[in-house]
Amino acid sequence: MKKQITWMAALALLASIVQPGIASALPNKAGNGSAFDKKITERFDSDRSMEHISYLSENIGPRVAGTKEELDAAEYIRQKLQHYGYETKTEEFGIADRLEGELTTSYNDEELAIRVATGSASTQGENVIGAIVDSGIGLPGNFPEAVEGNIALIERGDMSFWEKTKNAMNAGAAGIIIYDNTEGLVPITPSLGDNEASIPVVAITMEDGQKLKEEMASEEVRATLNITEISDQQSQNVIAVKEPKGKPTNDNDIVYVTAHYDSVPYSPGASDNASGTSVALELARILQPFPTDKEIRFVFFGAEEIGLVGSQQYVSGLSTQDVENSLAAFNMDMVGTGWDQATALYVNVMDGAPNAVWQAVEAAGERLGNDSLKLYERGASDHVSFYEAGIDAANFILRDPETASLEPWYHTPLDTIDKISQERIQTNGELIGAAVYDTVRQDVPWSKSKNKPDSNTNDYLLNEDPAPIQ
Ligand code: BES
Ligand code: ZN
């Protein structure tokens, strides 16, 4: 409870630096672009994207890999795709065991927000209870004798988490609480490297650490720690394939439109990454009835936040032939933040070099008069898995063009829909959609397929004007 009140206060503060009126005035709906572009820009409906973001981030909330909430999100996506006329496939996979836990203190019996260190011991169904003992930064000389059989409270910094842990174990501590030395809305996840502790190790925020110390100055504070190992969990990717249709072609190219739908713990993940999911869903809807030369695969990844697990699983399941035919993977991850400084749409590629995705989107930007694009060398999202398989891939993400920073509420409980810009969802949906459509509708210069039909005029693709799907 206390945590939520703190978050609410911070929310009010942060709300003041978000662009005012971000949900109004949709741009660009007609205007620029070729006749083909207009098939996208006139149909892309960011109201629908906002509904997806609302459902994922508000009705479901945090969607941590392996949880019921993540599964609920996958089911929502699957139902939408089916409604748009696709056959869907859900690809399940196991994820690594993880530690989850609770920490309460005698001060007020409230549960503190914690992250369990990777390499921590579990408490094996029992509670570890003891007095909290201030142990400085965890140097061997910092541990009072009273720490024996009790819980060491250690400040982050100056040495590795494993050093601190070893020293606390040597001093006889029964558990460790590490508090942050910098401000943050959620605790960090300490890593013990390849080491394994024989006692539980958890992290809390700086604010909570300081509060505990204040309380401990006047009375003994006892902690109850309970760490469980969660095993045999599953995550899933949701896949919809749009086969080429229209005039027969020999084009075997495959184009991917992808986004991850999971989130980090405590975060509703409106920007990261209900935003990318919502744009991919809207593109799936509007592209479905169009005649296209190439196959489009819409792939929604689970378990991105625990190490790109869903996309690695997906790409490793592709046949050699599929990999060879894969032309481009468009990955959307954080494409709608309302943070006023995030005015550039970064196109992150692993090697920093222009590839098929960049070429398509750069050309679309020129046609649509959008000059917000920035080619950048960066990993950290699902485009990495495609790149590693040798497939041209890029990740789209809004950032500050000066500093490359992400919004301040990234990966926090404040990543909520009120800080999403519908205008940017619309602009980026139109831009990426135009690039995707341009790539799939014809024999583009960066196409890989051989033996194309002679004619490079694909005007027949314009003849059909399908009814938009409800
Ligand atoms: N959407 C984020 C952030 C991101 C994407 C940062 C692209 C930079 C470029 C993504 O979901 C994320 O948080 N990635 C992790 C790494 C991943 C391997 C777990 C990160 O950057 O900490
Ligand atoms: Zn993300």
Count, residues in the chain: 470
What order of strands is seen across the sheet that includes strand 115-116? 98-105, 222-230, 128-134, 151-155, 175-179, 201-204, 115-116
State phi, psi for 419 to the nearest 5 degrees.
-105, 20
Note whether 297 and 254 are within 8 A (CB): yes
Q: Which residues line ligand 1 (CB under 6 A)?
A: 272-273, 304-305, 307-308, 333-334, 348, 378, 380-381, 395, 397
pLDDT in tens, the chain (470 residues): 333 434 544 544 444 444 433 333 344 444 578 999 999 999 999 999 999 999 999 999 999 999 999 999 999 999 999 999 999 999 999 999 999 999 999 988 889 999 999 999 999 889 999 999 999 999 999 999 999 999 999 999 999 999 999 999 999 999 999 999 999 888 999 999 999 999 999 999 999 999 999 999 999 999 999 999 999 999 999 999 999 987 666 789 999 999 999 999 999 999 999 999 999 999 999 999 998 989 999 999 999 999 999 999 999 999 999 999 999 999 999 999 999 999 999 999 999 999 999 999 999 999 999 999 999 999 999 999 999 999 999 999 999 999 999 999 999 999 999 999 999 999 999 999 999 999 998 756 556 654 444 434 454 455 454 555 55
CATH of domain 18-96+232-446: 3.40.630.10
User: Which residue's CA is the nearest one to ligand 1's atom 4?
Assistant: 380
Identify the nearest ligand to the CA of 303 by its number: 1
Identify the nearest ligand to the CA of 305 by its number: 1
Find the 380 Cα to ligand 1 centroid distance in Å: 4
- 3-class SS at 300? strand
Predicted local distance difference test score (pLDDT) of residue 452: 45
- 3-class SS at 13? helix
User: Which residue's CA is the nearest one to ligand 1's atom 14?
Assistant: 380
**DSSP line for 328-372:** EEEEESS--B-BTT--EEEEEETTSS--HHHHHHHHHHHHHT---
Predicted local distance difference test score (pLDDT) of residue 107: 87
395 Cα nearest atom in ligand 1:
7
Predicted local distance difference test score (pLDDT) of residue 467: 55
Distance CA 201, CA 117 (A): 6
Find the 5 Cα to ligand 1 centroid distance in Å: 27
Find the 271 Cα to ligand 2 centroid distance in Å: 8
306 Cα nearest atom in ligand 1:
19
Predicted local distance difference test score (pLDDT) of residue 125: 87
405-411: list long-range contacts, CB under 8 Å, 24+ apart: 405/341, 406/334, 406/337, 406/342, 407/271, 407/337, 407/339, 407/342, 408/14, 408/17, 408/339, 409/14, 409/185, 409/271, 410/271, 410/272, 410/334, 411/186, 411/264, 411/267, 411/272
Domain residue spans in the chain?
18-96+232-446, 98-229
Our mutation pick for probing the ligand 1 site, out of 381, 388, 415, counting the most ligand atoms within 8 A of Cβ, is 381
Find the 410 Cα to ligand 2 centroid distance in Å: 9
Our mutation pick for probing the ligand 1 site, out of 188, 304, 400, 405, counting the most ligand atoms within 8 A of Cβ, is 304
The architecture in CATH of the region 98-229 reads 3-Layer(bba) Sandwich (3.50)
